[in-house]
Amino acid sequence: MAGGASITIDRASKRFALAGSSEGVLALTDLSLEIAPGEFVAVLGPSGCGKSTLLRLVASLEQPSGGSVSIGGAAPGLVSARHALGVAFQDHALLPWLSIHDNIALPFRIAGRRVDEAAIARLIELVGLGRFETARPRQLSGGMRQRASIARALVLEPEVLLLDEPFGALDAVTRRQMNVELQRIWSARQITTMLITHSVDEALFLADRVVVMSGRPGRIVREVVVPFARPRAPAVMRSEDFHRLVDDLTAALEVPEPESSPPTGGEAIGSVTA
Amino acid sequence: MEAAASKRPLLLRLVEDYWGILLLLLAWQLWVVLNRFNPIVMPTPVAVLGDLVDHPMVYVRNVGITLAVAAFGLIAGMAVGTGLAVAAWFSPVASGLLNPLTVLFSSVPVVALIPVIARLLGYDTSTVLAIVVIITFFPSFVFASSGLRSPPPGSEDLFRVLGASRLSVLWRLALPAAMPNLAIAFKLAAAHAILAAMVAEFLMGTSGLGYLFAKTKSDFQTEQAFGASVVATVISATAFLLAGLVEKRVRARYA
Amino acid sequence: MTAGARNALLGAMGIALFLALWETIGQLKLAGISWPPLSAVLEMLTDEGRRPLFQRALVATLQETAQGYLWGTTAGLALAALAHLVPPLRRGSDRLAAVLNSVPSIALGPIFLVLLSRDSTPAAVSSIHVFFIVFVSMGSGLQRATPAHRDLFAVLGADRLKRFWRLELPAALPALASGLRLAWPAALIGAIIGEWFGASRGIGILIINAMQNFQIVLLWCAVLLAVGASLVFYGLLTLLERAAYARFG
Ligand SMILES: Nc1ncnc2c1ncn2[C@@H]1O[C@H](COP(=O)(O)OP(=O)(O)OP(=O)(O)O)[C@@H](O)[C@H]1O
Ligand SMILES: [Mg+2]
């Protein structure tokens, strides 16, 4: 029962203007990636390699400088205009003046749809915030806020779910719990999902396929299909196969260019100050 | 904090909270008594208080007028300021045109404009009202503009991904985000509104506390002139205090 | 074109539009005779014959304002530092400052007239305005040092005064600079109102006289002088504020 739409990224590149440099920053180059309907893909890569940029292209928060990005054959902008994207960022981006319930109801109100109280109640239950519906974001812990923002991302039953390091700010234990919960939530719907993360464990535990990007300019240097059957118990992380894959991916992350380097020549900029 | 405050003995609390004001009043009383000033030149605070008790109706009537003008002017000024800020938020061209102009105007000594406005609009209460509107307009516009443009981090991206219309972004994001700033503008403008109304009434009014001050002063009823000032001080200090409480609540709700 | 350049252009256009509107309304007498065209005002303002009049008024008002600014800043800083270093005095000084700020300026005039002299009254009224703004901005600035920094100083064994000089005061400078910028127009307003109580010269006197004698163009000239005096120093203080934020912000 795979839900959602496919994502097609076809030879996309992205160049940012940068003050004091005529060429700007080439964040992505010639990147192609196909995500099937209902597939869960995790993207790994060193800091600054363009993972967020990739996600922002799919969310139509940025336009590609070259190539194309489409969701179910349509331009991402059209998909977001019909309120069919769900998103959660590293920073929860909950509105401080709304209660948890109202924050999760926000996508309905923005879409101009009737607020589906039953769906909200189910999601709040699912992310374990049952007693905190009326609380304000600032009264919640970091992990609880992240769960609320994931509930918000799911509430419209989106065609595509985009997660940019949603657990990046959490401690290791909470993070693992959140991973288990996210898997449970996702299994119930199987929405096409793109998860950006720094954690190899997290990627392998959650995804159907893991993609590793190289340092700037970003492109894909490695792809791994995750063999573990679903539903996955946390015990899978202690298995032999899991460790082998972790080592494999970690090695791919550490060596920026394990394969022959593509012809990007002098395009990369030596030093970029943030 | 509150609980701790109420545990202190009353006298200590009074001294701690009001030592400055008490000292000021005491110095005033001593200064007048020791210099043997004629009450026409400088009355004692005790004498001013006496006049307040003796002629309450004069004060009540004029306080009512000044308060009404200040309140209406404050509301209108904030409405116009916020409305224009919203218009500028919708249109980058409008905001580009307006921004330096308002920065320019908010650094202008507005009191200097009062005579000009009076010449233009005539010498009556509606002019006093117009002046209060103009004086409260600038802080509202400046603060509302910057508030509308500072939503919580990440929220703008979120609204875009969710496919929010411009109107929905205004209503659900920009306006709530601007509330704390609007509350600051309200606090600044509330105390200002009463004082501005008084200066305007003083210069060209036909009624109100400022007029009472001007008239009684030129009639050498100095005690009543000071009575008017004391009343105005109490009112605008109270307005400042209340507006401060409003600001605190808004901050707790929206930030 | 960059966003900055476009905004600068738009801003300049906004100001030009405003000036053109002013001129047109004046030329066509849309607002009656009380609204002279900008050109008439500028003409009078640059008239050789009136130069001494304007110059005297401007110099007098600027002197009073500067004096009031200095007194007010000193008093505001002193009370803020006192309230900060001696916490029991804190609540009382907050209230004193709020009440002083709430005294109508027109009531301050007569008091200072008796307390000081005719010619010191404008500076005194002006200093009360400045005092409040500096007190408030310095007070909130002194709270800006972070708990982590305070802890650091505590661990290093710094006493109250060392912490004040080396941590809290530098951390307060940006907020203070903002206060100093906002205080200038307020100081100018104070000086102008103070002049109404019998000063011998100044922009406030010019304004009142022109208003009472129906010298419309002269009135607008005086107002423009006040605006200019405000803007020039406001601009300079904005630069100071930027520097403070760059260095200590
Ligand atoms: N708006 C922008 N303007 C200019 N350069 C940008 C912009 N956004 C990203 N970049 C540049 O693009 C490159 C990739 O950035 P991106 O945020 O996609 O990295 P990332 O892989 O998400 O890193 P991290 O793991 O640290 O979040 C960086 O070099 C960054 O400096
Ligand atoms: Mg990123």
* Predicted-complex ipTM score: 0.79
User: What are the distances in angstroms from CA B101 to CA A150, C38, C156?
Assistant: 44, 17, 50
For residue range C135-158, list pLDDT tens digits in order: 989 988 888 877 777 777 777 777
Beta-carbon contacts of residue A272 (< 8 Å; ≥ 6 apart): A18, A25
- Kindly report whether the peptide bond that precedes residue A96 is cis, defined as omega within 30 degrees of 0: no
* % of chain A with per-residue pLDDT over 70: 92
User: What is the Cα–Cα distance from A206 to B113, expressed in whole angstroms?
Assistant: 67
Residue appearing with tokens 């319930």: A101
Predicted local distance difference test score (pLDDT) of residue B9: 83
Predicted local distance difference test score (pLDDT) of residue A255: 65
Do B31 and B52 have their domain in common? no
Predicted local distance difference test score (pLDDT) of residue A260: 45
Domain that holds residue B26: 1-36
User: What is the Cα–Cα distance from A228 to A239, expressed in whole angstroms?
Assistant: 10
**Distance (Å) from the C-alpha of residue A110 to the closest C-alpha of chain B?**
5
**Distance (Å) from the C-alpha of residue C138 to the closest C-alpha of chain B?**
17
C246 alpha carbon to ligand 2 midpoint, in Å? 28
Residue B227 lies in a domain: yes
The C-alpha angle B191, C185, B141, rounded to 5 degrees, equals: 60
Residue A254 lies in a domain: yes
A218 alpha carbon to ligand 1 midpoint, in Å? 10
Predicted local distance difference test score (pLDDT) of residue B1: 44
Residue A41 near residue A226 (C-beta atoms within 8 A): no
Residue A138 lies in a domain: no
Atom 28 (ligand 1) nearest CA: A48
* 3-state SS class at A37: coil
Residue A110 lies in a domain: no
Amino acid at C224: L
Is the pLDDT score of B2 beyond 60?
A: no
Query: Residue A207 sits in a domain of what CATH number?
Result: 3.40.50.300
Question: Which of A258-267, B20-29, B165-174, B193-202 reaches the highest mean pLDDT?
Answer: B165-174
How would residue A259 be classed by pLDDT, with cut points 50, 70 and 90?
very low
Predicted local distance difference test score (pLDDT) of residue B99: 78
Q: What is the mean pLDDT of residues A102-125?
A: 92
B168 vs A contacts (CB less than 8 Å): 109-110, 112
B135 vs C contacts (CB less than 8 Å): none
Residue B68 lies in a domain: yes
Residue B186 near residue B246 (C-beta atoms within 8 A): yes
Residue appearing with tokens 């065209």: C37
- Pairing assessment for the beta strands A209-213 and A40-44 based on DSSP bridges: parallel
Which of the two residues, A236 and B102, has the higher pLDDT score? A236
CB-based burial label for B10 (10 Å; 0-12, 13-18, 19+)? exposed
Query: What's the distance, CA A189 to chain centroid?
Result: 16
Residue appearing with tokens 């007569």: C110
With left for phi above 0 and alpha for psi between -120 and 50, is residue C214 left, alpha or beta?
A: left
Residue A131 lies in a domain: no
Do B32 and B77 have their domain in common? no
User: What is the Cα–Cα distance from C132 to C234, expressed in whole angstroms?
Assistant: 18
Predicted local distance difference test score (pLDDT) of residue A3: 65
The neighbours of chain B, by the rule of 3 or more Cβ pairs under 8 Å, are A, C
- Residue among C103, C107, C189 whose CB faces B109 most closely: C189
Do B65 and B122 have their domain in common? yes
Predicted local distance difference test score (pLDDT) of residue A268: 38
**Distance (Å) from the C-alpha of residue C162 to the closest C-alpha of chain B?**
26
User: What is the Cα–Cα distance from A216 to A25, expressed in whole angstroms?
Assistant: 9
B144 alpha carbon to ligand 1 midpoint, in Å? 31
Residue B42 lies in a domain: no
User: What is the count of structural domains for chain A?
Assistant: 1
Query: What's the distance, CA C154 to chain centroid?
Result: 38
Do B57 and B103 have their domain in common? yes
Do B121 and B28 have their domain in common? no
Query: Residue B214 sits in a domain of what CATH number?
Result: 1.10.3720.10
Residue B144 lies in a domain: yes
Tokens at residue B193, please?
């509104």
Predicted local distance difference test score (pLDDT) of residue C158: 79
Domains of chain C, CATH where assigned: 36-248 (1.10.3720.10)
- Residue among C15, C99, C210 whose CB faces B101 most closely: C15
Do B118 and B166 have their domain in common? yes
CB atoms within 10 A of CB B33: 11
What is chain C's alpha carbon radius of gyration, rounded to the nearest angstrom?
22
What residues sit around ligand 2, an ion, with C-beta below 5 angstroms?
Answer: A 52
Domain that holds residue A189: 7-84+158-270
Do B88 and B8 have their domain in common? no
User: What is the count of structural domains for chain B?
Assistant: 2
Residue appearing with tokens 């923002």: A149
Amino acid at A274: A
Is the pLDDT score of C76 beyond 70?
A: yes
For residue range B130-188, list pLDDT tens digits in order: 989 988 888 888 889 888 988 998 899 999 999 999 999 999 999 999 998 898 889 88
**Distance (Å) from the C-alpha of residue A79 to the closest C-alpha of chain B?**
8
Helix axes C121-141 and C51-85, enclosed angle (nearest 10): 40
User: What are the distances in angstroms from CA B28 to CA A154, B51, B234, C104, C124?
Assistant: 68, 17, 17, 17, 16
Predicted local distance difference test score (pLDDT) of residue A104: 95
Length of chain C: 249
Lowest mean pLDDT among A111-125, A190-204, B6-20, B27-41: B6-20
User: What is the Cα–Cα distance from B224 to B204, expressed in whole angstroms?
Assistant: 19
* 3-state SS class at C36: coil
Tokens at residue B37, please?
């000033």
**Taking Cα atoms as reference points, which of B169, B155, B158, B179 lies closest to residue B90?**
B169
User: What is the Cα–Cα distance from A255 to A249, expressed in whole angstroms?
Assistant: 10
Do B15 and B107 have their domain in common? no
Do B26 and B57 have their domain in common? no
CB atoms within 10 A of CB B30: 11
Amino acid at B143: F
* % of chain C with per-residue pLDDT over 70: 100
* Sheet order of strands, A220-225 included: A85-88, A160-164, A192-196, A40-44, A209-213, A220-225
Atom 14 (ligand 1) nearest CA: A50
For residue range C224-237, list pLDDT tens digits in order: 999 899 989 988 99
Do B20 and B131 have their domain in common? no
User: What is the Cα–Cα distance from B94 to B169, expressed in whole angstroms?
Assistant: 19
Mean pLDDT of chain B: 87
Do B137 and B108 have their domain in common? yes
For residue range B77-136, list pLDDT tens digits in order: 999 999 999 999 998 888 888 878 877 777 777 777 888 888 888 877 888 899 899 888
Residue A245 lies in a domain: yes
Tokens at residue C166, please?
């080396």
Instruction: Give the containing element (helix H, strand E) for A209.
Output: strand A209-213
User: What are the distances in angstroms from CA B155 to CA A87, A148, A211, A258?
Assistant: 11, 14, 28, 38
Do B237 and B160 have their domain in common? yes
For residue range B29-73, list pLDDT tens digits in order: 998 899 888 888 888 999 989 998 998 998 999 999 999 999 999
Predicted local distance difference test score (pLDDT) of residue B85: 93
A50 alpha carbon to ligand 2 midpoint, in Å? 7
The C-alpha angle C239, C242, C248, rounded to 5 degrees, equals: 135
For residue range C1-58, list pLDDT tens digits in order: 577 788 888 889 988 999 999 999 989 888 888 889 999 999 998 988 899 999 999 9
**Residues enclosing ligand 1, CB less than 6 A?**
A 16, 18, 25, 27, 45, 47-53, 216, 272
With left for phi above 0 and alpha for psi between -120 and 50, is residue B242 left, alpha or beta?
A: alpha
What is the value of pTM for the model shown?
0.80
CB contact under 8 Å between C114 and B119, yes or no, is no
Query: What's the distance, CA B62 to chain centroid?
Result: 17
Residue A186 near residue A153 (C-beta atoms within 8 A): no
C96 vs B contacts (CB less than 8 Å): 19-21, 24
